[in-house]
Chains A and B, each alone.
Chain A
Amino acid sequence: MKPAPFDYVRPTSVAEACRVLDEAGGGATVIAGGQTLMPLLNLRMSQPFILVDINGIAELKGVSRADGATRVGPATRQADALKDETLAQYLPALVRALAHVGHYQTRNRGTVGGSVALGEPAAEMPATAVALGATIEIASVRGSRSVKAEEFYLGPYMTVLEPDELVTDIVYPDWPDGHVVLFREVAQRPGDFALVGMVGALALEGGTVSRAGIAWFGMGPTPVRARQAESALVGQALTAIDADAVAALAVADTAPFDDHHASAEYRRTVGKRIFARTLREALDIRSAA
């Protein structure tokens, strides 16, 4: 378990990083926290010619506010994001999900952007970006572009990111004050990738759902947006919501698979239950308030 030989560069600006990525002609890999990449390198499942370390690029770190949205620099450590007051205020769902990413120790190195860009379908960060309607901002020597999180993921560990591109920001739109956070996952051990999990937010106006964003993780080759469930919820009075029926709609959008940890049937069965349980708990609290 020693990586194949590679060159290493540590650019200090996005422009410089993009130049290196361009010159590498597809042979470069970006490293941020390395919590997934280092094992892949050691197993020789990833054999880049050049490792582009973005930890020296200050502009890729930190949380900022702009235009009714919260921007998270991709190289922001998960542990730092967990402590961030802006995120706590504007993106409670993201903070809730972050607490389940890896372990205490790995979050000290692991980055928000690393997890978003990797595209592990059972991970929390990609699904959270999809659920909250985030936009991924991408740069290369060819220019920059924005991609909706929902359109970013193509398959397991596959995204629209081209080999010469770098994620420069993850932009999460604001949700109204007092929006409801939905989050639950079932993992065999704390810190494992989920067998099945769901994350989302509900905005409320006068006892009615005005906006819904919900996504599954571990329920298909990519994060899966629970579109039918969202539609069913929007415009509904809290008291009129049938959590089981919505959960059934939510599961209908998924395409889980069998692996040796759980069957697709288990994922569907339990997914429906945790969806209903989570929705019911959230609505109960609202109704009681």
Chain B
Amino acid sequence: MNFHASSVGATRYVGERTPRKEDARLLTGRGQFTDDIQLPGMMHIAYVRSPVARGRIVSINLDVAREMPGVQAIYTQDDLAAIPVQMLSFFFTPIESPVTLLADGRVACVGDPVCMVIAESRAQAEDAAALVELEIEEETPLVTIADAKTGALVHPDRDDNIAAEMGDADMLEEAIQPLLDKAPHVVTHTIRHQRIAQSPMECRACVASPEGSGEMTVWMGCQSPHLAARYVAHALGMPQESIRVIAKDVGGGFGLKNIPWREEVAVVVAARLFGRPLKWIEDRYEALTASSHAREQEVTLTLGLDDEGKLLAGWSDYACNNGAWPMGEDSNIAVHMFMWPAYKMPAYGFVTRGWFTNTMGLGGYRGPWAMESLIRETTLDKAARKMGLDPVEVRRKNLIYLPDQPVTSTLGIEVTDITPGECLEKLVANVDIAAFRKEQAEARKEGRYLGMGIATYIEPTGSAGQMQPMTGETVHLRIEPTGKVVAMLSTHSQGHGTATTMAQVIADRLGVAYEDISVFEGDSAIGAFGPGAAGSRQGVIAGGATWKATELLADKVKAVAAHLSNASTEAVTIEDGMVHVEGAPEMSRSLKELAEIAYGEPARLPEGMASGLEAQFRYQPPPMTMTSAAHCCVVEVDAETGFVKILRWISAEDCGTVINPGVVEGQIAGGLAQAIGQVLLEEMPYDARGNPLAATFKDYLMPTISDVPDFEYLHANTPSQTIGGMRGVGEGGAIIGPPTLVNAIADALSPFGELGGEKGEVTLPLTPARILDVIEQRDVSGHQAHAEPAPAAPVETTAAPVADTSALAAAPAAISIDGDWDMTLKAPMGGQTFLAHFETDGTALAGYLSAPEGQQDFAGGTFEDGRMKFEVKVDKPMKVTLKYDLQASADTITGKCKMGMFGTAKVTAVRPA
């Protein structure tokens, strides 16, 4: 492997394949997972879950179950309600649909937790759970997106089944369709992405131990103990300091464990009620059928191109089956923001909606917005095939290369240092495409079907400061009196190896042996707030924080050594744990000697310097750091059986400074394995009655080692603008993998026709039967017979409903809205409250909206019969015109605000108290 950490000059540890600190523990069965926790007096929990997808709970009979051996208590929602809970999304906004910890009178999906059995052992808890008698009046469930559009309300308290929406439907007619009409070439492509079970190696787990003082220690499989503690404190209204969350080892998170969800929070609540430690270990059956699922998206993209293959315009219609209780109503709707910033796309618009159904709710999953890359890259390839162009050339014509930057996308995303084009060139230089095409042609003559797929992508990583809880990361660092180094980090690893990579940064920047560094993380009582592994951020932000904190510590070491040696700090160097003074070899001291002085003889330190050798730094990086990649995959499709064999896979990614190539490649490989699973194997189907059909790993097909090839890696290393120059790499493989593989399969099948038929409606996974559909041009899979007709694209969608004006006639004739109002905007990604000031002059309306961040004035609005219409232009964080349409009564104003592509927010305003 010819790897060089070019960005950091001569390095000692950064850029090395250093063996992981975690491996000895994990590979010898000495990890400390939540199920390893045993506490005196601890009881075990099993949930009773709904066997039906939708219905009213008529009765819950616990009489028999309560008499079972070992049973201590059985709780229903009526019991847990003693402690009020407000569930929150990952963005710390309240979940709007009234999600309770256990079912409250109704069940909305199979697997909905209804009762919690507490017993002396899990087996006893399950014995009793089997004897709980549930009587549920079953109702016809809504299972598919199509059901959600036309069926009854999943949540009776809501206006419709739309969980969240973004995009501007008006834009199609106003701006995009005219461009598509004029385009010489128009290509439309649809992908239906199946539902995925997240399937971490370790299922969810929670142990909650109440303490007499009202405090609670919680062990939880999570992606950040800090975030989990903050979440539980918020949800239960407990003081933050009363909750301590510990998660030393966690076997994979992928988004499922971003936030505690109903079952984990219920364990904490039950532990408070019960007064003794409680343990819940999710089993695989629960994990597959009742842990938050992922994906299940349908998207249609229409592109207009000129004769050379340059993009002219694009429109996309996207829908997502959010299930009954998504871990945030906005799950997966923000798929379009990064669709085109890497491409020269002059005009683009979209509509995206998440729909409630009576299926298990969705959560985030590694690359939650991956669908944008999948539909974009596969549609570009389809266009290339249709127009007889080389897919690499189509990308070259449209990609934004470094000299093109900075540039701002049509949706307002500015990119300054993305390198998808550079990654593509590096990839192409290492793959002999011409030779492959020759081999492909020869093979076809023998009835062998080879295919090559290429895809590029960019990804915003290391997000900080744009929205809660994405923020900076903190590192506390010290050299102990022993000369050894201890680091306490806000990071968290579910297998990411942060203890390794951060120790490499410290060893490298400080000049000490890697073995002399101990890293502590995984406990909300140490370190500081950070959201953990979420959004490919730890290498970028915690890496930068560690980098800087180490330099601060090195500065102190140098200052002490310089003072003791009467030398300048510039003359001091630290190497292999020894502190040297230039030109005075007799003054060399070990860090241990220096630390003993710093701790034990503070009088020898420079005047005013604190004793000890400690440093701390919290790093707030730029709001986003972009990662780019280009991948190539070669497959052979067996035309007789429809099986796909992956022959070769080459990754060319640019994650800036690589701290540890082994860790980076491990992240890419893991993501690609998930990608292969999604394209070829994994699926959580539901039947028409809302039953999940893959309840064990016999039916839910995870990729195994036999299904995943040896990947080849090329590293481009364009340093980012962060401290250390790292770029995030956690999710990339899962994002770029699916389009790369789908493109390769489509290329292999091109002699037979388009993947998914002439209409190009591709349904994942590409099972052998579905591949034979293409090869034989008939319905081998039986899929067509069952599939719902896809909407023709572009789809005309109904405009968002405006404020209900039916009450107009009843409105008092003269309402005065002049003056101040407290106005609240409830948007998908969070709410906002600010001061609104209105001034009317006849039917003319003007005023301003004022928040701590600034004030926006507006004029030119109208006020007629209580109906208020006005527009406010906003520049930050992106340029958008907010169109308000409100209805005023004497003391309240309600209505909606269209926020361009950000969708529609509900607006309420009241007079200030």
Give per-residue flags for A148-189: 1 if the beta carbon is below 8 A from chain B beta carbons, else 0.
000000000000000000000000000000000000001011
**Within residues 1 to 32 of chain A, which ones have a CB less than 8 A from any CB in chain B?**
1-5
Min CB–CB distance A129 → chain B (angstroms): 22
Contacting B127 at CB < 8 Å: which of A4, A263, A265?
A: A4
B768 touching A186, Cβ below 8 Å: yes
Say whether A260 faces chain B, with CB atoms less than 8 Å apart. Answer: yes
Contacting A262 at CB < 8 Å: which of B123, B130, B640, B767?
A: B767
A195 touching B768, Cβ below 8 Å: yes
Chain B residue numbers with a CB within 8 Å of A286 are none
**Within residues 779 to 821 of chain B, which ones have a CB less than 8 A from any CB in chain A?**
779-783
**Within residues 29 to 49 of chain A, which ones have a CB less than 8 A from any CB in chain B?**
39, 42-44
How many angstroms from the CA of A254 to the CA of B640 in the assembled complex? 19
Min CB–CB distance A27 → chain B (angstroms): 17
A266 touching B768, Cβ below 8 Å: yes
Chain B residue numbers with a CB within 8 Å of A42 are 283
How many angstroms from the CA of A266 to the CA of B772 in the assembled complex? 8
Contacting B642 at CB < 8 Å: which of A43, A258, A270?
A: A270
A270 touching B768, Cβ below 8 Å: yes
Which of A1, A44, A258 has the most CB atoms of chain B within a 10 A radius of its CB?
A: A1
Say whether A277 faces chain B, with CB atoms less than 8 Å apart. Answer: yes
**Within residues 107 to 131 of chain B, which ones have a CB less than 8 A from any CB in chain A?**
121-123, 126-127, 130
Contacts A189-B704, A190-B706, A266-B780; A2 near B685 (Cβ below 8 A): no
Say whether B59 faces chain A, with CB atoms less than 8 Å apart. Answer: no
**Within residues 244 to 289 of chain A, which ones have a CB less than 8 A from any CB in chain B?**
258, 260-266, 269-270, 273-274, 277
Say whether B513 faces chain A, with CB atoms less than 8 Å apart. Answer: no
How many angstroms from the CA of A2 to the CA of B783 in the assembled complex? 37
Chain A minimum-CB-distance residue to B639: A273
Min CB–CB distance B550 → chain A (angstroms): 44
B768 touching A192, Cβ below 8 Å: no
Contacts A2-B123, A44-B130, A270-B641; A260 near B685 (Cβ below 8 A): yes
Contacts A1-B283, A4-B127, A189-B701; A266 near B781 (Cβ below 8 A): yes
B641 touching A186, Cβ below 8 Å: yes
How many angstroms from the CA of A260 to the CA of B195 in the assembled complex? 13
Chain A minimum-CB-distance residue to B687: A260
How many angstroms from the CA of A265 to the CA of B783 in the assembled complex? 11
Contacting A263 at CB < 8 Å: which of B701, B704, B776, B781?
A: B781
Chain A minimum-CB-distance residue to B782: A263
Secondary structure of the B side of the interface?
A: loop
Q: Which of B11-19, B524-532, B691-699 contacts A (4 or more CB under 8 A)?
A: B691-699
How many angstroms from the CA of A4 to the CA of B780 in the assembled complex? 42
Chain A minimum-CB-distance residue to B707: A189
How many angstroms from the CA of A178 to the CA of B434 in the assembled complex? 48
Contacting B782 at CB < 8 Å: which of A3, A190, A265?
A: A265
Chain B minimum-CB-distance residue to A264: B782
Give per-residue flags for A186-217: 1 if the beta carbon is below 8 A from chain B beta carbons, else 0.
10111111010000000000000000000000
**Within residues 707 to 753 of chain B, which ones have a CB less than 8 A from any CB in chain A?**
707
Chain B residue numbers with a CB within 8 Å of A273 are 640-641
Chain B minimum-CB-distance residue to A277: B640
Chain A interface extent, by class: 20 to 34
**Within residues 41 to 63 of chain A, which ones have a CB less than 8 A from any CB in chain B?**
42-44
Min CB–CB distance A277 → chain B (angstroms): 7
Say whether B849 faces chain A, with CB atoms less than 8 Å apart. Answer: no
Chain B minimum-CB-distance residue to A43: B285
B123 touching A3, Cβ below 8 Å: yes
Contacts A2-B126, A266-B769; A260 near B285 (Cβ below 8 A): no
How many angstroms from the CA of A14 to the CA of B681 in the assembled complex? 43
Chain B residue numbers with a CB within 8 Å of A270 are 640-642, 768, 772
Min CB–CB distance A5 → chain B (angstroms): 7
Chain B residue numbers with a CB within 8 Å of A189 are 681, 701, 703-704, 706-707
Min CB–CB distance A264 → chain B (angstroms): 8
How many angstroms from the CA of A42 to the CA of B642 in the assembled complex? 35
Contacts A260-B683, A262-B767; A192 near B701 (Cβ below 8 A): yes
Chain B residue numbers with a CB within 8 Å of A195 are 768
A188 touching B123, Cβ below 8 Å: no
How many angstroms from the CA of A209 to the CA of B425 in the assembled complex? 60
**Within residues 655 to 689 of chain B, which ones have a CB less than 8 A from any CB in chain A?**
681, 683, 685
Chain A residue numbers with a CB within 8 Å of B694 are 260
Chain A residue numbers with a CB within 8 Å of B779 are 265
Contacts A263-B780, A265-B782, A270-B768; A1 near B707 (Cβ below 8 A): no
Contacts A262-B768, A263-B782, A274-B641; A190 near B126 (Cβ below 8 A): no
B769 touching A260, Cβ below 8 Å: no
Chain A residue numbers with a CB within 8 Å of B780 are 263, 265-266, 269
How many angstroms from the CA of A260 to the CA of B683 in the assembled complex? 9
Contacting A269 at CB < 8 Å: which of B127, B696, B706, B772?
A: B772
Contacting B696 at CB < 8 Å: which of A2, A39, A264, A277?
A: A39
Min CB–CB distance A155 → chain B (angstroms): 19
How many angstroms from the CA of A260 to the CA of B769 in the assembled complex? 10
How many angstroms from the CA of A258 to the CA of B783 in the assembled complex? 11
Chain B minimum-CB-distance residue to A47: B130
Min CB–CB distance B760 → chain A (angstroms): 22
How many angstroms from the CA of A261 to the CA of B681 in the assembled complex? 9
Chain A minimum-CB-distance residue to B680: A188
A1 touching B768, Cβ below 8 Å: no
Chain A residue numbers with a CB within 8 Å of B126 are 1-2, 4, 44
Min CB–CB distance B269 → chain A (angstroms): 24
Min CB–CB distance A222 → chain B (angstroms): 19
Say whether B643 faces chain A, with CB atoms less than 8 Å apart. Answer: yes
A260 touching B693, Cβ below 8 Å: yes
Chain B minimum-CB-distance residue to A258: B782
Give per-residue flags for A107-151: 1 if the beta carbon is below 8 A from chain B beta carbons, else 0.
000000000000000000000000000000000000000000000
Min CB–CB distance A219 → chain B (angstroms): 15
Say whether B284 faces chain A, with CB atoms less than 8 Å apart. Answer: yes
Contacts A186-B641, A260-B683; A43 near B696 (Cβ below 8 A): yes
Give per-residue flags for A68-87: 1 if the beta carbon is below 8 A from chain B beta carbons, else 0.
00000000000000000000
How many angstroms from the CA of A5 to the CA of B703 in the assembled complex? 34
Chain B minimum-CB-distance residue to A266: B769
Contacts A2-B122, A270-B641; A262 near B683 (Cβ below 8 A): no
A261 touching B767, Cβ below 8 Å: yes
How many angstroms from the CA of A260 to the CA of B767 in the assembled complex? 10
How many angstroms from the CA of A99 to the CA of B698 in the assembled complex? 19
Contacts A258-B782, A269-B780, A270-B768; A4 near B130 (Cβ below 8 A): yes
Chain A minimum-CB-distance residue to B283: A1
Min CB–CB distance B858 → chain A (angstroms): 55
Chain A minimum-CB-distance residue to B44: A2
Min CB–CB distance A260 → chain B (angstroms): 5
Chain B residue numbers with a CB within 8 Å of A274 are 640-641
A260 touching B768, Cβ below 8 Å: no
Chain A residue numbers with a CB within 8 Å of B782 are 258, 263-266
How many angstroms from the CA of A43 to the CA of B685 in the assembled complex? 19
Chain B residue numbers with a CB within 8 Å of A1 are 126, 283-285
Min CB–CB distance A86 → chain B (angstroms): 30
Which of A3, A39, A263, A273 has the most CB atoms of chain B within a 10 A radius of its CB?
A: A263
Cross-chain pairs A/B with CB under 8 angstroms, 15 sampled: A3-B123, A4-B130, A5-B123, A42-B283, A43-B696, A186-B768, A188-B767, A189-B706, A191-B706, A263-B783, A266-B780, A269-B780, A270-B772, A273-B640, A277-B640
> Which 7 A-B residue pairs are closest in the complex by CB-CB distance?
A263-B782, A2-B123, A1-B283, A266-B769, A273-B640, A190-B706, A260-B685
Interface of A toward B, CB cutoff 8 Å: 1-5, 39, 42-44, 186, 188-193, 195, 258, 260-266, 269-270, 273-274, 277
Known: A43-B285, A186-B768. 8 other contacts (CB 8 A): A2-B126, A4-B130, A191-B704, A261-B767, A264-B782, A265-B769, A270-B641, A277-B640
